[in-house]
Amino acid sequence: MLALGKLLELTLAGREPTEKIQLTADGTRLHWLAEGALEVTPPVARDNGRDLLLSAGIHGNETAPIELLDRLVHGIARGELKPASRVLFLLGNPEAMRRGERYLEQDINRLFCGRHEEGSGNEALRASELERLAAAFFAREGRPRLHYDLHTAIRGSKIEQFALYPWASGREHSREELARLRSAGIDAVLLQSKPGITFSAYTYSQLGAEAFTLELGKARPFGQNQAVNLDRLEAMLQGVISGQEADGAQIDGLQLFAVSREVIKHSDHFRLHLDDAVDNFTELDHGFLLAEDIGGTRWIVEERGARIIFPNPRVKNGLRAGILVVPTEL
């Protein structure tokens, strides 16, 4: 196998390859761009005109998606997976991956869309670098752009595999892309309704890509992801990479949710009235006192059918401590 096929191994070792560009036997070009960044270009005759960005490891302890990208890179380097799309593989937070931590100083996935300019440290610099790498990759005009940012969650979920679909003014959510997600085993999609500061929000709103954050189960250490079944997602990504997707994908059975409210932590007095182990998509009773903060601020569940996702009272002040979502339709 080509040395550049060992993207994950090199990244975890903190090493750079001696050769930055290599070709497979079928003419696919692998180009090491930076730490954790590998660009794959198919031969001109096979290029189908699509640009695909696959990112994982934005949170360094979310290893199942990292292992998935590693398998795809190995397949390409061995000549078993023959790309028809250009692909950029990005391992988001290499130092956190090496330490097995979610992040070191700041959550990178809260530092996009310019937020890194307000911060300092390695993660702010890395967020800026990731934006630069994505913008350069998507700079070619007239090519469909697609980005999947792959994650696992810090808690369990009533709906194990779900996606977050960013929002941007003047753009509509794509039924075709929702069907592709359904074919990959995604059971629910949260349709967002305001600008975000995540990596997928950046590529969607500022680079014009169809972009998604995928939550794929619970975070576990490397080598302990047997309970995270990514077979359908892996097959879908192989199809997108090779240009050999199955026809007729439908959105039947896909649950759609909309954001009703975000619960923002304003101070150290913030209290979230949920068990620490509560699952994502847990339903909340009407009238339930969800959270309290300084100055008499209270979040009471007024929505029918409301569920909670990403509850986390330990975020920094000013950040989101949970999202209330409700069922919706396109």
Query: Residues 268-309: pLDDT tens digits?
Result: 999 999 998 899 999 999 999 999 999 889 999 999 999 999
Does residue 247 surpass a pLDDT of 80? no
Question: Tokens 């937020």 label which residue?
Answer: 115
| pLDDT single digits (tens) 127-150 | 999 999 999 999 999 999 999 999
Phi and psi for 181 in degrees, rounded to 5? -65, -40
- Calpha distance 219→222 (Å, rounded): 10
pLDDT the model gives residue 222: 79
Cβ proximity of 74 and 234 under 8 Å: no
Mean pLDDT, to the nearest integer, of 61-73? 96
pLDDT the model gives residue 120: 79
- Calpha distance 54→69 (Å, rounded): 8
Two tokens, residue 202: 């950046």
Range(s) for CATH 3.40.630.10 in the chain? 3-242
CA-angle at 200, arms to 202 and 30, nearest 5°: 100
Question: Tokens 């960005």 label which residue?
Answer: 53
- Reference 109, options 256, 312, 324; nearest CA is 312
Q: Which residues are annotated as a binding site?
A: 59, 62, 151
Does residue 225 surpass a pLDDT of 80? no
The fraction of the chain above a pLDDT of 70, given in percent, is 100
Q: Which residues are annotated as a binding site for Zn(2+)?
A: 59, 62, 151
Residue 256 is classified by DSSP as E
| pLDDT single digits (tens) 155-172 | 889 999 999 999 999 999
* Catalytic residue set: 215
Phi and psi for 296 in degrees, rounded to 5? 80, 10
The identity of residue 133, as a single letter, is L
The fraction of the chain above a pLDDT of 90, given in percent, is 85
pTM score, whole prediction: 0.94
pLDDT the model gives residue 115: 83
Question: For residues 20-33, b (16+ Cβ closer than 10 Å) or e, as one string?
Answer: eebebeeebbbebb
- Calpha distance 262→195 (Å, rounded): 13
Please report the sign of the dihedral spanned by the C-alpha atoms of residue 314, residue 316, residue 317, residue 322.
Answer: negative
Phi and psi for 39 in degrees, rounded to 5? -100, 130
Mean pLDDT of the residues in the chain: 94
pLDDT category of residue 319 using cuts at 50, 70 and 90: confident
Mean pLDDT, to the nearest integer, of 251-261? 94
Backbone region of residue 229 per phi and psi (left: phi > 0; alpha: psi in -120 to 50; beta: other values): beta
Two tokens, residue 299: 């979040």
The CATH architecture assigned to 3-242 reads: 3-Layer(aba) Sandwich (3.40)
pLDDT the model gives residue 114: 87
Does residue 248 surpass a pLDDT of 80? no
Mean pLDDT, to the nearest integer, of 34-55? 97
CATH number of 261-327: 2.40.50.630
Range(s) for CATH 2.40.50.630 in the chain? 261-327
